[in-house]
Every structure is written in structure tokens, then in C-alpha cells.
Copies of this chain bind each other. A is one copy, B any other.
């Protein structure tokens, strides 16, 4: 009965509010990792790209999808690794 767009919009609105609440709490110390970590999450496009790159049709859509898979993966893998590398360096004073 209810159209998918409605659900999607609802989800969008809720996520935006949630994003604001969550990010507002991150302290300045962590802003660079936050930036690269969020960047990695934006690689979620990968999930959309996978569906388009695996249709089996040798058409434009498929090639575009494959390209998107590669680019989004750069974002995901690079983003998470570099964030982890940064965060591994953050240490509390012992004792």
C-alpha cells in the first residue's frame, strides 16, 4: 500500500537526525579520523554498484557498474585502513 519512496524518505530523515546527534558528540581530537572514517562509509555505493556489475549483460550498464565497484572499493578499503592506522596511534598517558 505505502509506496517505497515514502519509506525511503522516512529512513533518510531519521538517518540525518541520527547522524547529527552522533557526530556532534565527537571531540575535536578525533575529527581527522572521523572525516576519513565517514569517508569510508560513503563507499557504501559499492553495495549499489555490485548489483549493477553482476547482471551478466555485456552492456554499458555492466561496465559502468564494474568501474563503480573499483572506485567505491578504493574508498572503502583505503578509508578504513587509513582510519585504523591513525586511530592506532592515539594513546592515553599510562599511569
Contacts and interface: CB of A to CB of B under 8 A. Distances in A.
Q: How many copies does the complex hold?
A: 2
A88 interface: no
Interface in A1-53: 1-2, 4, 7-8, 10-11, 14-15, 17-18, 21-22
A15 B10 CA distance: 10
Contacts of A17: 18
Counting chain A residues whose Cβ lies within 8 A of the other chain, the interface size class is: 10 to 19
Given A2-B4, A10-B11, A11-B14, 10 more contacts: A1-B4, A4-B7, A7-B7, A7-B8, A7-B10, A7-B11, A11-B11, A14-B15, A18-B18, A21-B22
Interface of A: 1-2, 4, 7-8, 10-11, 14-15, 17-18, 21-22
